[in-house]
Structures are given as structure tokens and as C-alpha cells.
Structure 1
Amino acid sequence: MSESSKPSGPDATTVELVGGAEAVEVGLHSYDDRWAAIYADHRRRIGDALAAVHVDIEHIGSTSVPGLAAKPIIDIVVIIDDITAEEDYLDALLAAGYELRVREPGHRLVRTAARDVHVHLLERGDPAIDEYILLRDHLRSNADDRALYESTKRRLLNKQWRDMNDYADAKTEVIDAIKARARAARGA
């Protein structure tokens, strides 16, 4: 087992942000058809690395929504059976070229060295998975909410942010409103 892995057992109890806070330096780009191909390449790479583990892999975030401007960072969620069993997935992802960025309760994040692909690892059944998919699918089908979300991101990226997480937190109110409409639209 490498130094980066921890044995199975209780989950992380704090947030470990490997490398500390990072300023947001990326602007929005018009939707790029290449994003789907980049996702497909990483889906294969992750699938190959985790071939011995039961996983589901989904493209999430703004780059997964055709027509939506986005920071050119591909977000991927990998759904695993046990987040605490890092020996089942973390070493394999590190060997495949990803770097550990976040270890927190219920969530791990690895990314490429270029920081252009973020891989979120969540445990099967985590409600965040359904929330990611709900938002993605709604934005794919609802032009008004897609435009609202894009204009919100453009407005927020005109500000200076100490950390990418602060920018993400600033979008929460709009995202929650969009997801509420998405739930209402699907009758939930």
C-alpha cells in the first residue's frame, strides 16, 4: 500500500485539501465539442484503472451540457461501493496519472496534473450523485435555465476569488433554484 492510501475503515473526518487553497484563474469558454471526447478518453482510462472494482462513471458539470459555456475542466463522478476502501481505487487512479486533491467525509477528488480533469469519487447511494445528474439533465433540456446558469457564472467569474471552492459556493443559490425547477418538472 502506498503512502497515499489508507486502509479500509472509518471515513475521513475532516477535509484534507492537498496543496492548499488555489486561486481561480480560469475563465469561461464557449461550449467545445471536444469536451465529450476528453470525457470519453478519461472514462476509458478510469475504467481500465478500476477494472477490478464495480464502478459507474458519469460526465457531470458544465462541460457535460452541450451549448453551455464552462471553465474547460472536465468533471467526472465515479460511483464506488465503499469510499473508505481507498486501497480498492486510490492507488490505481494515482498509477493512472491522477493526483489526490481532496479527501473528505464521503468524497475523494483526484485530478490531472494539468488540473483540466477532476474526478469525484462518491459512494453508491450518495444523494450528491442524483443531484449532479438532475442538474446536468435539466440543463441539457432547458434552455432558459441553461442561460440563467451561464449568466450567473459569467457574473461571478468577474470577481476575484481566493479559492475555486469559494466561487463554487457563490453559485449555490442559483443551482438550488434550478434543481427545484428540475424536480418540479419531473414531478418529484
Structure 2
Amino acid sequence: MDGSGTAGVVPARAGGRVVLAEYDPAWPALFEREAARVRAALGGAVAALEHVGSTSVPGLAAKPVVDVLLVVGDSSDESGYVPALEAAGYVVRVREPEWHEHRMFKGPDTDVNLHVFSAGDSQVRWMLAFRDRLRTHPGDRARYEAVKRELAGREWESVQDYADAKNAVVDEIMARAVPDGSLTRD
């Protein structure tokens, strides 16, 4: 993407190590502030709004970036939500029409990743199932954190490389969360 908001992807580059912070009880309040801003900008276009990612799991160390899941009717119909989010200060950073019509915005004044998916998309259910598993199963939360800490000690070319390196432990945990295999990361 060229930064003009037209199309494509801006790779998230982070040379070096990923920095994890201990769980911060302020993260839910940051989510609530962002959720209120998104609701004010989009009104009835919001089908669902959830705090996801590691900052949504009490007690879990995380990159201090609040992940917000926004569900709209059709994430490929950008005219229904992008202008209003941009007017509220959000900036489109990722467009992935080939992967669940995913869009990702950065927040105006908080380190936030606002992920947008369509209502009914399997990634919405997947993200919530993973979050809920970590919230309710201390052993899985501890296992996930141990892997995150080990990986954070390595050098990475990009944040995505770090995220991809967690796939094996995430798949292991999701196999317990959804033993029938009805949800997959695709």
C-alpha cells in the first residue's frame, strides 16, 4: 500500500525483538474507549465489537497493542465504514481481500489494531474461541505465554514473522478449544 488508502498492504516491520509487557489492567479501559469511538463513528454499521488478542486475556503478557475486532455486514464494502473511521482518526494499514476480506486500521491516539471482518466470517468465531480458551484455561494461557516469551527473545524482521512463529502453539491450543476441528485458521 502506498499510504494513500487506495489498496494493498503496508507490511508491519519491526526490526529486532518483540517487546512484551506484563498484563496491564488498563488495557480493558483502553478497549472500551476505542469501542466507544468506533460506535460513535459507525453507529448501526457495527454488528459486533470485541476486545481480542493477548491484551484481552487477564494475566497474560502481551505486546502493548490493544486488538479490537470490528464486525460489519460486509468488510469488502469499504464505503460503509472506512470514511467514517478515517474521519474519527483511524488509518487503514492493511487490506487483505484474499484473506477473509480483512482490513486493519491503526488508532488515532492509542496503540490499537482495529481488525475488520464481515458478519458470519469464520475468523470472527476463531478469534473469539482462542481468546475465550485462554481466559478460561490457565494451563493453556501459561503455555502460550511461555512460547511468546521464548519467541520474543529472538530477532525478527517483522511482527508477522513473530506471529507466524506462534502458529504451532496456537494450533495446539485451538485443537483443545474446538476438538471437532470445525474452526481452522485459514
TM-score range, shorter chain: 0.7 to 0.9
Q: Which runs of 5+ in 2 are unaligned?
A: none
- Tell me which residue corresponds to 1:184: 179
CA distance change for structure 1 residues 173 and 26 in 2, over 3 Å: closer, same or farther?
closer
Aligned residue number for residue 53 of structure 1: 45
Alpha-carbon distance in structure 2 between the residues aligned to 1:138 and 1:163 = 27
1:121 to 97, 102, 116: 116
Q: Deviations over 1:21-76 (max 9, x none)?
A: 41155411111110000000000000111014142101100000001111110001
Aligned CA RMSD, in angstroms, stands at 2.1
Distance 1:84 1:67, change over 3 A: same
Q: State the percentage of identical aligned residues.
A: 43
Q: Does 1:151 align with 2:140?
A: no
The one-character-per-residue Cα deviations of 1:108-165 (angstroms, maximum 9, x if unpaired) are 0001256710000001111111110001001001111000000100011111111111
Which one-letter code corresponds to 1:182 in the other structure? A
Q: 1:22 to 1:113 in 2, by over 3 A?
A: farther
For 2:110 and 2:148, the matched residues in 1 are separated by 19
SS in 2 for 1:184: coil
3-state secondary structure, aligned to 1:82: coil
Partner amino acid for 2:146?
A: S
Q: Which amino acid aligns with 1:177?
A: E
Q: Which stretches of structure 1, 4 residues or longer, exceed 4 Å deviation after superposition?
A: none
Question: Mean alpha-carbon deviation: is it higher for 47-56 or for 32-41?
Answer: 47-56
Q: Please point out which of 161, 169, 176 is paired with 1:166.
A: 161
Q: Gapped runs of 5+ residues in structure 1?
A: 6-11
Residue identity matched to 1:134:
A
Match of 2:107 in 1: 112
Change (3 A) 1:54 1:43: closer
* Structure-2 residue corresponding to 1:70: 62
Q: 1:43 aligns to what?
A: 35
- CA distance in 2: counterparts of 1:142 and 1:160, whole angstroms: 30
User: In the TM superposition, what is the alpha-carbon distance from 1:4 to its structure 2 partner?
Assistant: 3.4
In structure 2, distance between residues paired with 1:113 and 1:73: 13
Residues 115 and 153 (structure 1), Cα distance of their counterparts in 2 relative to 1, 3 Å cut: farther
Partner amino acid for 1:4?
G
- TM-score (ref. length: structure 1): 0.86
